[in-house]
């Protein structure tokens, strides 16, 4: 649970390196649509294969992306956990809300996380997180990881 | 001494409160180096664009062949904002017709893709073959002698509006106007060469989709790909890693009409001092990637060009940046908004390594792309700025005021080329 709340808080507060540190060394992170996922199409809106790419995504998100200012908020619910060998298979639903200047708060996307969580020393980490969005048409851009 | 800038007077539309007054669509005297902001905001201009451009004699991109490989395979698509269906017929040819029932207009195809022997409108069950012909409808002869269609009702007089189709090396284009010239003539020899560079006859593999709605006029997206000058300033990622930089050997080329364009670039070598000074706000010397695989360039085309972005009028951008390939399909959604549908692909004979690399490198592009986020965000800012000031005009004078090819990218010449053509088509 701590992992899930820390993950959302890191993103919502723009602490992208803390977001990256929720992943294990060889972790995979993908953001894709339900359409790609169900049809087995491999392209992902964000695709990180290893912690190096996850760290790079954290850096570019805060340092090189030019975007309009906004507040993002992750609402995560319906967490379902299954023990799986030395780790856990977890699914959870998410909703992301966005608040921008001169705009009402709006929904950016909804979807579900398909995760594998492992224990590393004293904390839980994502070994794999695949974010599958119901949303097929993203509003403007996806300025941060999900 | 400070020069006084004279703003154009707000026209009648602003003072004539109440009704919708006739707008004076007077293009600024400076010609194609000025872009009046009402082209991005005006409903009447938008309506005329749909009529003259998207229903006019132009080839619009609608699909890739690899999306509909088998007879009966179909895909929903768009020409302008008009929904259509693209279908592989039983004889292997490709058909396109409006996704609007001949009866009462229902958009009868509601699946993104699929395989069908026929289509049936859910409302009154008018059915269609794979060519869009109406093949039947229930109660045509009435029931127990009552009702039914008139005796002279001729099925053949009713069908989903057809489009003419042209397929070239795996890419499918369509037009509502059957008088459209051949696809080769439409592209012109120069652009055809760039088209065939990526679509060289090899079988393609569909890698997947990304879609976004950008609250900015659809022409902003075209301008963006015709304006390489912004890339050296807006895109920190590109500039820092030398993927696209104004000091690299590059060019901007157009077809004879100026409607299509190609932005051609090579990766930058050692950074030139003068260029570095101009781009100083963009360059990040402190930036290093931990995993540089996303930048890898696997040579796959002849020559040393590393990126060619083609803008194919009126709705397509062909993206070849390093090893990431995509069709960016523009769907206008009113004057202030458009959808961008990205179809990523590779070649069916790619090695597993190349395929994995294309997927990894796709991080550069799309709604979350290291580079493309900047563009979509700026387009919204553009719309926010032009809408309330639509009595003003934009300036496109970088590298002159005329239209010709340039062997560098410090230019807005292709933006001028676009508007030179646009004015002609739109009668402005």
Q: What is the ipTM of this complex?
A: 0.96
Residue B354 near chain A (CB below 8 Å)? no
Q: Backbone dihedral region of A50: left (phi > 0), alpha (psi from -120 to 50 degrees) or beta?
A: left
What secondary structure does DSSP assign to A47-94, as a single string? Answer: EEESHHHHHHHHHHHHHT-----EEEEEEEEEEEEEEETTEEEEEEEE
Range list for CATH 2.102.10.10 in chain B: 60-167
Lowest mean pLDDT across A93-97, B129-133, B404-408? B404-408
DSSP B376: H
Give the span between the Cα atoms of A133 and B2, in whole angstroms.
54
Nearest to A126 by CA among A6, A41, A14, A16: A6
Lowest mean pLDDT across B188-197, B237-246, B293-302? B237-246
Six-digit token string for B130? 């794979």
Residue A23 half-sphere exposure toward CB, CA atoms < 13 A: 26
Long-range Cβ contacts of A4-10 (<8 Å, 24+ apart): A4/A76, A4/A79, A4/A92, A7/A126, A8/A74, A8/A76
Asked whether the beta carbons of residue A67 and residue B373 sit closer than 8 angstroms, the reply is: yes
- Find the closest chain A residue to B376 by CA distance: A140
For A43, the closest of B293, B344, B373 (CB atoms) is B344
How do the domains of chain A map onto residue ranges? 2-133
- Find the closest chain B residue to A68 by CA distance: B377
Nearest to B311 by CA among B323, B329, B324, B325: B329
Residue A26 near chain B (CB below 8 Å)? no
Q: What is the pLDDT of residue B3?
A: 57
Q: Mean pLDDT, to the nearest integer, of B260-282? A: 83
Asked whether the beta carbons of residue A47 and residue B206 sit closer than 8 angstroms, the reply is: no
Angle at B373 between CA B371 and CA B376, to 5 degrees: 120
Q: Mean pLDDT, to the nearest integer, of B403-427? A: 93
Asked whether the predicted pLDDT for residue B241 surpasses 90, the reply is: no
Q: Give the CATH class of B202-426.
A: alpha beta
Place of tokens 């709006």: A106
Range list for CATH 3.90.380.10 in chain B: 202-426
For A143, the closest of B112, B284, B373 (CB atoms) is B373
Q: How many other CB atoms sit within 10 Å of the CB of residue B235?
A: 25
Nearest to B212 by CA among A130, A108, A101: A108
Residues B62 and B71: beta-carbon distance below 8 Å: no
Residues B250 and B408: beta-carbon distance below 8 Å: yes
Confidence at B5, pLDDT banded by 50, 70, 90: low
Q: What is the pLDDT of residue B15?
A: 45
Give the span between the Cα atoms of B310 and B300, in whole angstroms.
18
**Distance from the first to the final alpha carbon of chain B:** 36
- Find the closest chain A residue to B375 by CA distance: A66
Architecture of domain A2-133: Roll (3.10)
| Structure-derived torsion over alpha carbons of residues B294, B300, B302, B303, reported in degrees to the nearest 10 | 20
Give the span between the Cα atoms of B34 and B409, in whole angstroms.
19
How many Å lie between the alpha carbon of B202 and the closest alpha carbon of chain A? 20
Give the span between the Cα atoms of B366 and A30, in whole angstroms.
14
Asked whether the beta carbons of residue A56 and residue B210 sit closer than 8 angstroms, the reply is: no
Tell me: the pLDDT tens digits for B64-73? 999 999 999 9
Angle at B291 between CA A110 and CA B287, to 5 degrees: 95
How many Å lie between the alpha carbon of A81 and the closest alpha carbon of chain B? 29
| Residues A63-75 as b or e (16 or more Cβ within 10 Å = b) | ebbbbbebebebe
pLDDT-above-70 percentage for chain B:
94
Six-digit token string for B358? 């294309």
Tell me: the pLDDT tens digits for B6-62? 555 544 444 444 444 446 789 999 999 999 999 999 999 999 999 999 999 999 999
Q: B346: which strand partners?
A: B205
- Provide the strand spans (E) within B125-194: 127-128, 134-136, 162-168, 171-175
Residue B234 near chain A (CB below 8 Å)? yes
Contacts of B355 in chain A (CB under 8 A): 42
How many Å lie between the alpha carbon of B321 and the closest alpha carbon of chain A? 16
Q: What is the pLDDT of residue B239?
A: 79
Per DSSP, the three-state class of A9 is helix
Asked whether the beta carbons of residue B291 and residue A142 sit closer than 8 angstroms, the reply is: no
Tell me: the pLDDT tens digits for B292-346? 999 999 999 999 999 999 999 999 999 999 999 999 999 999 999 999 999 999 9
Q: Which of A17, A27, A32, A42 to mutate to test the interface with B (most CBs of B within 10 A)?
A: A42
Give the span between the Cα atoms of B334 and B337, in whole angstroms.
6
Give Cα separations from B61 to A13, B7, B68, B170, B261 (angstroms).
41, 39, 14, 11, 15
CATH superfamily of the domain spanning B60-167: Rieske [2Fe-2S] iron-sulphur domain (2.102.10.10)
Q: What is the pLDDT of residue B319?
A: 98
Asked whether the beta carbons of residue A137 and residue B294 sit closer than 8 angstroms, the reply is: no
Place of tokens 């900047």: B374
Give Cα separations from B374 to A54, A107, B47, B49 (angstroms).
20, 21, 29, 27
For B214, the closest of A31, A44, A140 (CB atoms) is A140
Q: Mean pLDDT, to the nearest integer, of B189-204? A: 97
Asked whether the beta carbons of residue B373 and residue A44 sit closer than 8 angstroms, the reply is: no
Give the span between the Cα atoms of A98 and A73, in whole angstroms.
7
Asked whether the beta carbons of residue A141 and residue B112 sit closer than 8 angstroms, the reply is: no
Is residue B407 reached through a cis peptide bond, with omega within 30 degrees of 0 on the bond before it?
no
Give the span between the Cα atoms of A19 and B387, in whole angstroms.
38
Q: Who contacts B266 (Cβ-Cβ below 8 Å, separation ≥6)?
A: B248, B249, B250, B304, B305, B306, B307
Confidence at B164, pLDDT banded by 50, 70, 90: very high
Tell me: the pLDDT tens digits for B73-100? 999 999 999 999 999 999 999 999 999 9
Residues B266 and B249: beta-carbon distance below 8 Å: yes
Q: Which of B239, B291, B382 to mutate to test the interface with A (most CBs of A within 10 A)?
A: B291
- Mean pLDDT estimate for chain B: 92
How many Å lie between the alpha carbon of B44 and the closest alpha carbon of chain A? 25
Contacts of B293 in chain A (CB under 8 A): 53
Nearest to B79 by CA among B360, B285, B256, B313: B313
Q: What is the pLDDT of residue B6?
A: 58
Residue A31 near chain B (CB below 8 Å)? yes
Six-digit token string for B263? 């932005």
Asked whether the beta carbons of residue B291 and residue A52 sit closer than 8 angstroms, the reply is: yes
Q: What is the pLDDT of residue B229?
A: 86
- Find the closest chain A residue to B112 by CA distance: A35
Radius of gyration for chain A, computed over Cα atoms and rounded to the nearest angstrom = 15
Contacts of A35 in chain B (CB under 8 A): 112, 209
Asked whether the beta carbons of residue B208 and residue A36 sit closer than 8 angstroms, the reply is: yes
Within 243-302 of B, beta carbons closer than 8 Å to A belong to 284, 287, 289-291, 293-294
- Provide the strand spans (E) within B259-312: 261-265, 307-312
């Amino acid at each position: 649970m701590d992992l899930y709340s820390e993950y959302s808080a890191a993103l919502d507060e723009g602490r992208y390196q803390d977001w990256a540190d929720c992943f294990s060394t060889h972790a995979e992170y993908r953001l894709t649509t339900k359409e790609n996922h169900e049809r087995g199409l491999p392209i992902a809106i964000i695709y990180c294969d290893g912690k190096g790419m996850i760290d790079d995504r954290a850096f570019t998100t805060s340092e090189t992306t030019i975007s309009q200012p906004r507040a993002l908020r992750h609402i995560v619910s319906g967490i379902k956990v299954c023990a799986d060998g030395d780790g856990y298979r977890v699914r959870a639903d998410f909703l992301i809300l966005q608040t921008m200047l001169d705009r009402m708060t709006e929904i950016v996307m909804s979807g579900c996380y398909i995760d594998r969580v492992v224990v590393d020393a004293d904390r839980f980490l994502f070994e794999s997180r695949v974010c599958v969005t119901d949303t097929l048409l993203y509003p403007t851009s996806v300025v941060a990881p999900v | 001494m400070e020069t006084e800038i004279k703003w154009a007077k707000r026209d009648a539309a602003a003072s004539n409160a109440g009704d919708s007054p006739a707008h004076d669509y007077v293009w600024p005297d400076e010609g194609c180096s000025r872009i009046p902001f009402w082209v991005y905001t005006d409903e009447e201009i938008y309506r005329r664009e749909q009529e003259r451009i998207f229903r006019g004699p132009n080839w619009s991109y609608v699909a890739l062949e690899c999306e509909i490989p088998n007879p009966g395979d179909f895909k929903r698509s768009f020409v302008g904002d008009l929904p259509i269906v693209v279908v592989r017929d039983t004889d292997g040819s490709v058909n396109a017709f409006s996704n609007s029932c001949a009866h009462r207009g229902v958009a009868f195809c509601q699946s993104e893709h699929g395989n069908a022997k026929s289509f049936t409108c859910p409302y009154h069950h008018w059915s269609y073959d794979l060519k869009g012909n109406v093949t039947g409808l229930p109660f045509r002869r009435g029931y127990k002698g009552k009702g039914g269609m008139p005796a002279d009702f001729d099925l053949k007089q009713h069908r989903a509006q057809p489009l003419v189709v042209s397929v070239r090396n795996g890419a499918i284009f369509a037009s509502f106007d059957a008088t459209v010239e051949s696809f080769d003539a439409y592209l012109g020899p120069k652009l055809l060469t760039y088209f065939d560079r990526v679509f060289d006859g090899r079988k393609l593999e569909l890698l997947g989709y990304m879609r976004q709605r950008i609250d900015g006029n659809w022409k902003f997206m075209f301008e963006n790909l015709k304006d390489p000058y912004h890339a050296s300033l807006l895109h920190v990622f590109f500039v820092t890693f030398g993927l696209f930089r104004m000091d690299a050997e590059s060019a901007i080329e157009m077809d004879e009409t100026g409607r299509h364009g190609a932005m051609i670039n090579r990766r930058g070598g050692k950074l030139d001092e003068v260029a570095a000074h101009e781009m100083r706000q963009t360059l990040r010397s402190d930036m290093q990637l931990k995993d540089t695989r996303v930048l890898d360039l696997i040579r796959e085309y002849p020559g040393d060009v590393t990126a060619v972005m083609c803008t194919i009028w009126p709705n397509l951008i062909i993206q070849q940046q390093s090893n990431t390939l995509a069709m960016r399909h523009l769907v206008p959604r009113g004057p202030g908004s458009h959808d961008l549908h990205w179809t990523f692909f590779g070649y069916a004979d790619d090695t597993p390594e190349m395929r994995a690399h294309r997927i990894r490198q796709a991080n550069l592009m799309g709604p979350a792309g290291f580079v493309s986020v900047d563009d979509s965000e700026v387009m919204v800012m553009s719309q926010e700025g032009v809408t309330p000031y639509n009595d003003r005009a934009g300036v496109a004078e970088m590298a002159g005021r005329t239209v010709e090819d340039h062997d560098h990218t410090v230019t807005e010449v292709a933006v001028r080329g676009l508007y030179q053509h646009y004015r002609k088509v739109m009668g402005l």
